[in-house]
Amino acid sequence: MPFLAIDFWSILWLSLRVSGTAVLISSFIGIPCGVWLGLSRHRGKRLLSAVIHTGMAFPPVVVGLVLYILLSRSGPLAFLGWMFTTEAMIAAQTILALPFVIGITMSAVAAVHTELPAQLRTLGASERQCRWTILRESRHGVLLAVAAAFGRSISEVGAVLIIGGNIQGHTRVLTTAIVLETGKGNFEFALALGGALLLMALLVNLIIVQLQGSRLPA
Amino acid sequence: MTDEALYRLRDLRKKHGSTFTLHVHRLDVRRGEMLGLLGPTGAGKSTLLRLLAGLENPTGGDIRFEDFPFVSTDLPLPTRRRITLVHQRPVLLTASVRLNVEYGLRLRGSRDRARKVEEVLARLGLTEFASQSAQTLSGGQVQLVALARALVIEPDVLLLDEPTAHLDPTHVARAEETIRQIQKERRMTVVWATHNLFQARRVAVRTSLLLNGQLVEVASTEEFFTNPSDTRTADFVQGRMMY
């Protein structure tokens, strides 16, 4: 039974830890950036939007390759000692998830009624209070951004395979394990891992849907 | 009301695109007065209110609040919080009516929020809707909630942009009475934009007329309606004006 294997649970836990951390970091950076971009009206906004949307289509293997070059022994970031570690995998998934968080948050904030910021100001909101209220009003879109970022991270295989190395008990996550087990012809275990991947994505999205429906403080 | 000017507007201009320019040669808004701002749709009433609220800066001329230059980007938060505008098309938060009304008080960290909110809800006949989602309200109810959220913060200056446009006559009367009472109780300065001649006559102590972006006349309401100094005012008041 694949579910009884100790390896199965350690892979599952590591996947959750790596992708969860990457989503947390990308949300921490991406949500404020998305709010700022959604509310700003500067000239470069269209260009920035195009760059961010291009980032959503960034091939994971290219991110893995660039990070490999940067983190390898001869690379400029070799001193970090992150090669074939979970830190490098988190970095790769953060880079891949960030455009999703920024782009979707930006669209959600921009979709809030254009008169709302002015009306909040006339009610006495400071700039910070105004941004917070708009973020609250666009929470459905922001949570969707987090869900999309998690989906991107947890299902990604190219980058983590290159810079994580798929080392058993160390950097092996669900997606890389599926690649390995499929190659070995161990389809039962590979399918079980695939099912776990889907189940995990479903659970996270159920939590997010629950949050979307809940009331947040004004 | 005193004769002391709270706002002083001199040669104020605001351009919108290449076609519309608001021009107010001279206007003093007196502390504690109820000033009616009459004019047809598109005359510039909302633009003038946005300038008085500090939401926009004039293209030219001078606007002073308590003798200080009134530049929207430089307005300190405490000054901004003394002025509130009820917009023509209010946007409510995706929350209950009660939370919407409470919003301004929360921003200020006010104590005794619940009592103040319940009081204003009762005065405007909104108590039964207090727990209802603001997204389920009719256009008229939205206007009442917008009025309630402005009145509850007890501003020094209340700017009203057609606040009763979507209300039935009963609710118009109730809203007018509530605003009048609160204005007297707190000596609030109110600038009330409307295209309804009868409403201006009912509520305002002084009345002004905006036509095609130009401030045509400001006079006591009695004088404005019975003995206007400008022929355009006379035409407008008697319904002879084609615009």
Task: Say which residues have a Cβ less than 8 Å from residue B26's Cβ, sequence separation at least 6.
Answer: B9, B10, B11, B215
Q: Is residue A166 included in any domain, yes or no?
A: yes
Domain range for residue A136? Answer: 16-212
Touching check for A128 and chain B: CB below 8 Å? Answer: no
- Residue of B84, B89, B99 lying closest to A123 (CB–CB): B84
Touching check for B85 and chain A: CB below 8 Å? Answer: yes
Q: Are A122 and B99 in contact (CB < 8 Å)?
A: no
Q: Is residue A79 included in any domain, yes or no?
A: yes
Q: Evaluate whether B105 touches A123 at the Cβ level (below 8 Å).
A: no
Q: Evaluate whether B228 touches B234 at the Cβ level (below 8 Å).
A: yes
Touching check for B77 and chain A: CB below 8 Å? Answer: yes
Q: Is residue A9 included in any domain, yes or no?
A: no
Touching check for B217 and chain A: CB below 8 Å? Answer: no
Q: What span, in angstroms and rounded, lies between the C-alpha atoms of B194 and B200?
A: 7
- Looking up tokens 């405490």 gives B78
Beta strand segments in chain B, E:
5-16, 20-30, 34-38, 60-65, 68-69, 83-86, 157-161, 189-194, 206-211, 214-220
Domain containing residue A95: CATH number:
1.10.3720.10
Residue A205 is predicted with a pLDDT of 87
CB atoms within 10 A of CB B170: 9
Domain count, chain A: 1
In chain B, where the domains are located: 5-237
Q: Is residue A189 included in any domain, yes or no?
A: yes
Q: Are B95 and A218 in contact (CB < 8 Å)?
A: yes
Q: Is residue A7 included in any domain, yes or no?
A: no
Would you identify the CATH topology of the domain B5-237?
Rossmann fold (3.40.50)
- Percentage of residues in chain B having pLDDT higher than 70: 98
Instruction: Provide the whole-model pTM.
Output: 0.82
Q: Is residue A46 included in any domain, yes or no?
A: yes
Nearest-Cα distance to chain B for A216, in Å, is 9
Chain B residues with CB-CB distance to A118 below 8 A: 50, 55, 87
> ipTM of this model?
0.89
Q: Can you tell me whether residue A180 is helix, strand or coil?
A: helix
Q: Is residue A3 included in any domain, yes or no?
A: no
Q: Is residue A48 included in any domain, yes or no?
A: yes
Per-residue pLDDT tens listing for chain A (218 residues)? 555 566 888 999 999 999 999 999 999 999 999 999 998 888 888 899 999 999 999 999 999 999 999 999 999 999 999 999 999 999 999 999 999 999 999 999 999 988 999 999 999 999 999 999 999 999 999 999 999 999 999 999 999 999 999 999 899 999 999 999 999 999 998 999 999 999 998 998 898 888 877 654 44
